Structure formats: C-alpha cells, structure tokens
Amino acid sequence: MTENKVTRINVRASRQYDILIGRGLLGSAGKLISEIHAPCKALIVSDDTVFGLYGKTVQTSLENSGFSCECFVFPHGEASKNPQNLIQIVSLAAKLHMTRSDIFVALGGGVTGDLCGFAAATYMRGVEFIGIPTTVLAAVDSSVGGKTAVDLPEGKNLMGAFHQPSRVICDTECFKTLDSHTFADGLAEAAKYGVIRSESLFRRFSGDISGETDNIIAECVTIKKDIVEADEFDHGERALLNFGHTVGHAVEKLSEFKITHGHAVAIGMAVIAKCAEAYGLCENGTAKRIVEVLTKLGLPTETELSAREIASAALNDKKASGKTLSLVLPEKIGQAYVHDIPLNELESFLSAK
C-alpha cells in the first residue's frame, strides 16, 4: 500500500504549530496529537452532522492513543455560535475536572472551530486545542491563524480572542461528503488568496482543479500562514484577507444568511473589483477575470441589492469606525491593497457595480 502524502506547514505565530494536510488523516488523529501532547482528557466539540460522520473515527483514534474522550455535540449552523454554547462547553470541562494540561478538539467547520477555539481560550485562562477542519472553508481560512469567537445578537464575532491551535489536522477526504454548494463556498475563499497574493494560484482556477484539492489547500494555507506570521493580531496586512468581505458580509446579512458566506464573499469580490476598476483603482480587465473564475467555480458575482442597501448594511458593520472605511481592493490579480474611503462616499463608490 502506498503511503498517502502529508503536507506539513509550520506556522510561527505567538505559538508555533504545524498544519498537516493529507488524505485519511482522521483515523490517525490520536497518533498525530500524541506527537505533540501526552495522553490526557480530550473534549471533542462538534456539530450533530459532522459528529455523525466522523465523531466515532476521531474518538476511537484518540482513545487508541491513550486519550480519554468526552464529547460536546451541538446543533449544526451559525446560530449555535453563541455565548450559551460557550458556557456549556466550559461548564462541561469544569464538571469533567479538566485542567490546563488537557485539550479541546474542534472537529468540524468554521462555526465549530470558532466556538471550540474560544472555549479553549477562556477555560482556565487558556487550554490547548487541536483543529480538525472538515470543510474547505475552514481548512483554508478559519482553522488557520487563531481567530476564535462567538456571535452576539448585536453582530457576528463580537466576543472572541486570538488563540492559536496547537496543531491542525486537515483530512481532505472529508470534503467528499460536502455538497457542491458548501464545496463552492470554500472555493470562493481559495480564489480570494489568488487575487490578493498569487496570480499563479488564481490561474489554476481557470483549469481543471479536480484532483488538485490538496495542493490548492496547501497553497492557500501557506499564503494565510505568511500573512498571519506578519500580522497575527490584525493591525495591518491581515486586513487583506477581508477582500470581498465588506460587501460580502452586507449581502449575507441582508439575505438573513440565506446566502452563505463563500457565495456572499464571491459577490463581494466581483462587486468591489468592478467598482475599483471603474474608478481607475485597479488594472483594467481584473474584474472580468475575477468574474470568469468565480462563475466557473459555480459562484454568483452579482446582487440585486442596491448600492444604498449594501452601503447602509456595511456601515452598520463593526469594522466601520471613525470617518473612513477600509476597503480591500485588487491592484491586479495577485496583489491587493487597503484603500480608505470616507464613509459618506461608500454608496457612490458602490454605484459603479
């Protein structure tokens, strides 16, 4: 039997850790965690869908490596990323007499990683956690870089902390159970890395990417790792990762989250690129290339929302403060920059969409 290739990407942030990417890693989760952590109590946090698919494999693997496991399983969906579940997780850890030498394991997509990661950041002022992303979106974005949070009624991710994982185990076999819509959600974030940092990565999306998933994930993670290492606490360069997100978050919110994150970000990237080009703020032809690639990936690039509706929702977002809003614009494919725009000019800027 040939051994599957495992890509190891080392992140040097306030904590140094490896991201392992490969096929069939879930069954080795216990062994891979025991390389960095002595057997202890492990609290596996997962949603009901993912736990049903992979919970047993991960739990058995951990137990075979000497870990004693308990599980916290919550209903899938963004609505579960709330302070009540956070309290339930840390209360369960307390009832289980978990100590700072024990670990949390986030098995699932972005909601699970954010919720479990934040619980790990707060329990006893911080315990280690392992990320096991099971969606493309979580693999290329939320599992890397230590942003953890829960949502408040006032807005998304308003209560959170920077808390880096101790290891990330990304089993790309998990993506086989994703429906095409959820898979495309992740591809939107993957294409984003091409626009902001790598023309060669971006070009790959114009061709046949079937069979390329592992390599593409590794390339995206490498780009994100570089950005996180340069600006872990989000004071500068990390903002580039928000390309497409100002409009994307507005579209997501105005659709009452019926338009999912990746699809909304795809619309956001196309809209902002068109506007930047119309204002002579990026190389001609950039927006067309972005729209072509996103369309090929099965993603939307337009919205019926007016510039006024988008601007008003965007200005209510937590990132709009002071007199200006920082927009991430493409300079050309492979390069992006932050452009500050007066709040009262956002609507007319977006009218070029």
Provide φ and ψ at 100, rounded to 5°: -65, -10
Residue 91 has which token pair? Answer: 């209360």
The C-alpha atoms of residue 235 and residue 239 are separated, in whole angstroms, by 8
141: contact with ligand GLY by CB under 6 A: yes
- Two tokens, residue 167: 């290891």
145 or 262: CB nearest ligand GLY: 145
- Residue 244, interface with ligand GLY (CB under 6 A)? no
Nearer to ligand GLY, 147 or 274 (CB): 147
Strand ranges (E), the chain: 6-12, 16-22, 41-47, 68-74, 103-108, 128-133, 147-152, 155-162, 167-171, 324-332, 335-342
Of 23-31, 140-148, 165-173, 298-306, which part binds ligand GLY (CB under 6 A)?
140-148
Q: Which stretch binds ligand GLY (CB under 6 A): 164-172, 234-242, 294-302, 310-318?
A: 234-242
Q: Which is nearer to ligand GLY, 227 or 313 (CB)?
A: 227
From 23, 203, 238, 296, residue interacting with ligand GLY (rule: CB under 6 A) = 238
Among 37, 76, 147, 192, binds ligand GLY (CB under 6 A): 147
Nearer to ligand GLY, 134 or 142 (CB): 142
Considering the complex, what minimum distance in angstroms separates the CB of residue 142 from ligand GLY? 6
Residue nearest to ligand GLY (CB): 241
User: What element of type H or E holds 246?
Assistant: helix 245-254
Q: Per CB under 6 A, which region of 1-9, 34-42, 59-67, 233-241 contacts ligand GLY?
A: 233-241
Q: Which helix (H) or strand (E) holds 194?
A: helix 180-197
3-state secondary structure at position 127: coil
Beta carbon of residue 345, minimum distance to ligand GLY (angstroms, whole number) = 25
* 268 touching ligand GLY, by CB under 6 A: no
Q: How many Å apart are CA 67 and CA 105, to the nearest integer?
A: 12
How many residues of this chain interact with ligand GLY, rule: CB under 6 A? 6
**What distance in Å separates the CA atoms of residue 84 and residue 90, rounded to the nearest whole number?**
10
Site for ligand GLY in 163-182 (CB under 6 A): none
For the bound state, the minimum distance from the C-beta of residue 177 to ligand GLY, rounded and expressed in Å, comes to 24
Out of 45, 127, 241, 270, the residue judged to bind ligand GLY by CB under 6 A = 241
- Please tell me whether residue 192 binds ligand GLY under the rule CB under 6 A: no
User: Which residues make Cβ contacts (< 8 Å) with residue 19, sequence separation at least 6?
Assistant: 8, 9, 10, 11, 143, 144, 167, 168, 170, 221, 225
Q: Do 293 and 202 meet the contact criterion of CB atoms below 8 Å apart? A: yes
Question: With binding defined as CB under 6 A, does residue 231 bind ligand GLY?
Answer: no
Q: How far is the CB of 344 from ligand GLY (least distance, A)?
A: 27
d(CA 142, CA 99): 26
Determine which residue in the list 113, 145, 244, 248 makes contact with ligand GLY, applying CB under 6 A: 145
Cα–Cα distance for residue pair 134/143, rounded to 1 Å: 10
What is the rounded CA–CA span in Å between residue 218 and residue 72?
29
Among residues 41 and 245, whose Cβ is nearest to ligand GLY? 245
Binding of ligand GLY by 185 (CB under 6 A)? no
Positions in the binding site for ligand GLY (CB under 6 A): 141, 145, 147, 234, 238, 241
